[in-house]
């Protein structure tokens, strides 16, 4: 039964051990802190108290580490170590100032002072419950005994010893007193787990990281994830496009190597130039990965004005592409132009990989939006159906979403494949 399950669970007895230690530890903390702080404050006028107080600060931070260990070992609550900022570089005064300004220092002090009254309360509750429960469960042994029987056992009691407010219990009342004792005994185990849970919740809020520290950690992780995503986009778009071009050119050159050496030579030159460009791009991204300064990726000098060169390279690979650009696209923000360029580049890369059919690219800068529409004709043989969305399409959607735009990417009823995106201006 669930109601008696805590009696047979090992964690209940770990909780009991933690609660049994709460009162003596709380008392020791209280005496140590009050004595140390009092002595330090009293001697501060002759400067001897300054190192004493600093030692107390470090001591209760160390006790906080010990308390976090108790939470992990006995309460199964993992409290992360708070971020320590006062042990880094800087002068001695800067470190002391960091120790005093760290909220973890004062939250740990609050927890250590709370431990004494909380431990005393826990001690009283558990001792009272245990005493009452054991006494009630022992009723069958005590109530049937009269004064004469107890006297033969050399137990001196007064007449009416069992009288409670004028009521003298008899044998017929034993069963419900014993039942109440059993109920209290079982309830005590639930009380133990409840008190341990309260200690754990309060301890985690005071001994763990503060809300501000959690925000800083979250912001750092978010920045790292964003940077990692941008690195993945850069590698996928630039290197993926270059490798696709090289594979296409290598395949075309291999097929006509004997019959058209000039074309094969031209293909090799394109592969060489594309490879050199890719190595430069790869070196730039890897340089950021190796950087210890946490640098961010600077958008490369690619924009909508570079679409002509992109389309020309695709045409050199014998893929028919038409390009239409309308509006003052080159006056748009550089980062927006780079995102748009990468989307066109990824779309053309997918055409070369999967379709190889004539493609039209339309870029229009309207009054309030930048529209990009890329459509390739249906291939002669339909590719095998699959439900997986490639990383390239995911990357295009992420780029559009980052600017609050909309995208429609997928096959059309006519069998074509269409990439349409709109960036708000």
360 versus 250: the higher-pLDDT residue is 360
Residue 330: phi and psi, rounded to 5, are -75, -5
R_g (Cα) of the chain, nearest Å: 38
How large is the average pLDDT for residues 162-190? 72
Three-state SS for 14? helix
How much of the chain, in percent, has pLDDT values that exceed 70?
71
Q: Say which residue the tokens 């005493």 belong to.
A: 131
Contact present, 406 and 400 (Cβ < 8 Å): yes
**Tens digit of each residue's pLDDT (9 = 90 or more) over 55-67:** 888 888 889 989 9
348 alpha carbon, distance to own chain's centre: 37
pLDDT of residue 177: 79
CB-count exposure of residue 218 (10 Å: 0-12, 13-18, 19+)? exposed
Q: What is the mean pLDDT of the chain?
A: 78
Tokens of 257: 């190597």
pLDDT > 60? residue 190: yes
Three-state SS for 96? helix
pLDDT > 90? residue 354: no
pLDDT of residue 88: 54
Q: Which ranges of 208-306 does DSSP label H, i.e. alpha helix?
A: 211-234, 240-255, 261-290
How large is the average pLDDT for residues 188-195? 94
pLDDT confidence tier of residue 188, bands split at 50, 70 and 90 = very high
pLDDT > 80? residue 100: no
Tokens of 307: 């679409």
Which residues, in sequence order, are bridge partners of residue 408? 420
pLDDT > 80? residue 158: no
C-alpha–C-alpha distance, residues 357 and 379, integer Å? 6
| Fold (CATH) for 319-425 | Heat Shock Protein 90 (3.30.565)
Domain parsing of the chain, residue ranges:
5-207, 319-425
102: which residues sit within 8 A by CB, 6+ positions away? 82, 84, 85, 86
123 versus 48: the higher-pLDDT residue is 123
**Tens digit of each residue's pLDDT (9 = 90 or more) over 223-248:** 667 666 666 666 666 666 677 667 66
Tokens of 394: 């995911």
Whole-angstrom CA distances from 417 to 31, 326, 413 are: 77, 22, 9
pLDDT > 80? residue 316: no
pLDDT > 60? residue 146: no
pLDDT of residue 167: 46
C-alpha–C-alpha distance, residues 96 and 47, integer Å? 15
pLDDT confidence tier of residue 166, bands split at 50, 70 and 90 = very low
323: which residues sit within 8 A by CB, 6+ positions away? 307, 308, 311, 361, 363
**Of 27-41, 183-197, 302-316, the least confident:** 302-316
**Tens digit of each residue's pLDDT (9 = 90 or more) over 385-401:** 544 456 678 878 888 88
The neighbour count for residue 275, using CB atoms within 10 Å, is 14
Strand ordering across the sheet containing 321-326 = 321-326, 359-365, 369-376, 417-424, 406-411
**Tens digit of each residue's pLDDT (9 = 90 or more) over 65-75:** 899 999 999 99
pLDDT > 60? residue 294: no
Contact present, 411 and 388 (Cβ < 8 Å): no
Three-state SS for 322? strand
Going by C-alpha positions, the residue among 306, 338, 321, 344 that lies closest to residue 421 is: 344
């Amino acid at each position: 039964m669930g109601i008696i399950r805590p009696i047979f669970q090992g964690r209940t007895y770990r909780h009991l051990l933690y609660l049994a230690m709460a009162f003596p530890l709380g008392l020791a903390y209280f005496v140590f802190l009050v004595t140390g702080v009092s002595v330090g404050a009293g001697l501060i006028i002759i400067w001897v108290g300054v190192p004493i107080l600093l030692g107390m600060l470090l001591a209760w931070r160390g006790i906080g580490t010990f308390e976090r260990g108790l939470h992990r070992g006995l309460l199964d609550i993992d409290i992360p170590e708070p971020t320590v900022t006062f042990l880094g570089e800087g002068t001695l005064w800067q470190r002391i100032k960091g120790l005093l300004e760290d909220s973890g220092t004062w939250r740990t002090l609050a927890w250590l002072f709370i431990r004494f009254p909380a431990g005393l309360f826990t001690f009283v509750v558990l001792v009272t419950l245990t005493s009452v429960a054991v006494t009630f469960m022992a009723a069958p042994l005590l109530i049937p005994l009269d004064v004469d029987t107890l006297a033969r056992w050399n137990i001196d009691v007064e007449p009416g010893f069992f009288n409670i407010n004028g009521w003298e219990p008899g044998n017929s009342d034993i069963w419900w007193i014993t039942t109440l004792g059993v109920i209290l005994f079982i309830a005590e185990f639930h009380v133990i787990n409840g008190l341990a849970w309260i200690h754990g919740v309060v301890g985690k809020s005071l001994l763990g990281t503060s809300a501000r520290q959690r925000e800083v950690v979250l912001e750092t992780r978010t920045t790292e994830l964003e940077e990692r995503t941008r690195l993945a986009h850069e590698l996928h778009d630039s290197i993926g496009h270059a490798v696709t071009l090289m594979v296409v050119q290598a395949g075309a050159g291999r097929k006509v190597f004997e019959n058209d050496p000039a074309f094969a030579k031209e293909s090799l030159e394109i592969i060489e130039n594309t490879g050199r460009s890719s190595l430069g791009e790869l070196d730039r991204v890897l340089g950021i990965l190796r950087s210890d300064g946490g640098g961010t990726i600077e958008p490369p000098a690619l924009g909508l004005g570079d679409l002509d060169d992109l389309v020309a390279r695709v045409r050199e690979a014998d893929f028919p592409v038409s390009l239409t650009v309308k509006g003052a696209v080159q006056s748009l923000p550089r980062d927006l132009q780079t995102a748009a360029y990468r989307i066109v580049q990824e779309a053309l890369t997918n055409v070369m990989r999967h379709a190889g059919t004539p493609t039209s690219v339309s870029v229009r800068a309207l009054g309030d939006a930048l529209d990009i529409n890329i459509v390739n004709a249906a291939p002669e043989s339909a590719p095998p159906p699959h439900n997986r969305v490639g990383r390239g399409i995911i990357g295009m959607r992420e780029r559009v979403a980052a600017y609050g735009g909309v995208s429609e990417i997928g096959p059309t009823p006519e069998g074509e494949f269409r990439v349409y995106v709109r960036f708000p201006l």
